Structure 1
Amino acid sequence: MKAIIGGTGVDTLPGLQSEKTMVATQYGDVELFVGTGKDASLVFLPRHGSEHSVPPHLINYRANIKALVSLGVDEAIGIYAVGSITDLLKPEQIGTISDFIDVTGGGRQHTFFTGGSEQVRHVSMDRVFDPALTEALLQEDPSLVRGGIYCCTNGPRLETPAEIRSYRILGADYVGMTCATEASLAVEAGLRFAALAYSINWAAGVEGSEVAFIGDAMIKQLRSKMTRLCTQVLTRR
């Protein structure tokens, strides 16, 4: 099985034949959509819930990843809305993520290895995003921006201009609130994982004005493009 994980702007996947399913895990129950018919090999997981009702710092990331594993998922692509810090990925563009910086501050459950019966393990993060799966995305759509560093904040508030300046110094190209936690757990669980970032705004202070988001019509276009891309890549593997 293969999975697509969506978030802001990608809480549904129109066109995917699927059935809503509740999966029980040791960390809690997870609502997701299991493909049927031509899409029987796919699972769609809306990380914020299908009604986008769960803020980023309260998402049950461990339950989400465990639910995918329990369904037999071995590859997944995460889709992340971001704010652009550098010109690498500009608003309305889509690209792959090559690495991340995590500044969430440890305020969320971000590992399966918590000691005791869960053991203690130090999992390598040298290569978070699977090279073959990432390259498949780039080959399928040459218009994608190649690579980029994602800075993961805790949320749900947006960042200050001073924070964005500091993230730029650290080397971040864009900022979001979910990828680092999700990707780390996917690696711990043994999933082959790739990630797409799509920019919906310039981050605070970058353009010298208040944060302004792209319109719903453009987000819908980007969602359709990313949905087709992920589906095509995953169903061929």
Structure 2
Amino acid sequence: MKAIIGGTGVDSLEGLTLKKTVVGTPYGKVALFVGDDLVFLPRHGSDHSVPPHLINYRANVAALAALGVQEAVGIYAVGSISKALEPGDIGIVSDFIDVSGGAREHTFHIGGSSGVRHCAMDEVFDVALSNRMKALAPYLKDAGVYVCTNGPRLETKAEIRMFAHMGCDVVGMTLATEVGLLAEAGIRTLALAYSINWAAGVEQANVSFIGDAQIEALKEQMTQLCCKALLISSN
């Protein structure tokens, strides 16, 4: 079983026969959409009602694991810090830095009956899945390093200057928490980022987002690409 995890602008999938399913986990119930070979999980809820810092990441990932998901592509809306990924571009994230603050439930291993585990993150993303994606879409950019903030507020200009100095290329609010849990669950993962704006103070004085029509076109492009990359190994 394969999964697409959608975020801002990607909270539904058209053109696929998927049945809404509620999966119970030790961390809570999760509503997602299930087909023969594919699961779609809208991380913010299908009505985009859950802010990034309050997403039940553990329940989401536990639900995917319970359904037998072995590979997942996460789609992440980001702001551009460097020119590695400019607004309107799509790319593959190579690594991440987490500055979300540690207040989120970001691990399954909290001691006691769940034990203690230090999950290695030297190879964050699956190479084989990345190679399949690049073969299907050579135009994809290297999105570089994603810095994960807590949100829901956007970042200050000073914060973005600091992140740029740290070597970060894009900024968002969900990837680090989600990807860490996917790694703990043994689910092979790829992160596909698309930029919807320049981060604060970059290129222009004010944050300016790309239009809804462009986001919709990018959504269709990304979801089709994800389906091909995920299901190609099942055919």
- Report the CA distance between 1:208 and its aligned residue: 2.9
SS of the residue corresponding to residue 185 of structure 1 reads: helix
SS of the residue corresponding to residue 10 of structure 2 reads: coil
Which of 118, 122, 129 is matched with 1:122 structurally?
118
- Report the CA distance between 1:116 and its aligned residue: 0.3
Q: Which runs of 5+ in 2 are unaligned?
A: none
Does residue 7 of the first structure (1) align with residue 7 of the second (2)? yes
Q: Which runs of 5+ in 1 are unaligned?
A: none
Counterpart-to-counterpart distance in 2, 1:49 and 1:147: 25
- Report the CA distance between 1:147 and its aligned residue: 4.4
For the 8 Å contact 1:95–1:198, the answer to whether it is kept is yes
Report how many residues are paired. 233
SS of the residue corresponding to residue 148 of structure 1 reads: strand
SS of the residue corresponding to residue 171 of structure 2 reads: strand
After the TM superposition, list the runs of 4 or more consecutive aligned residues in structure 1 that deviate by more than 4 angstroms: none
SS of the residue corresponding to residue 141 of structure 2 reads: coil
For the 8 Å contact 2:19–2:34, the answer to whether it is kept is yes
- Give the equivalent residue in structure 2 for 1:132: 128
Counterpart-to-counterpart distance in 2, 1:4 and 1:79: 8
- Give the equivalent residue in structure 1 for 2:138: 142
Which of 206, 230, 233 is matched with 1:210 structurally?
206
Counterpart-to-counterpart distance in 1, 2:148 and 2:91: 16
TM-score (norm 2): 0.98
TM-score (norm 1): 0.97
Amino acid at match of 2:115: Q
Amino acid at match of 1:186: L
For the 8 Å contact 1:138–1:146, the answer to whether it is kept is no
- Give the equivalent residue in structure 2 for 1:32: 32
| CA RMSD after TM alignment | 0.6
- Report the CA distance between 1:107 and its aligned residue: 1.4
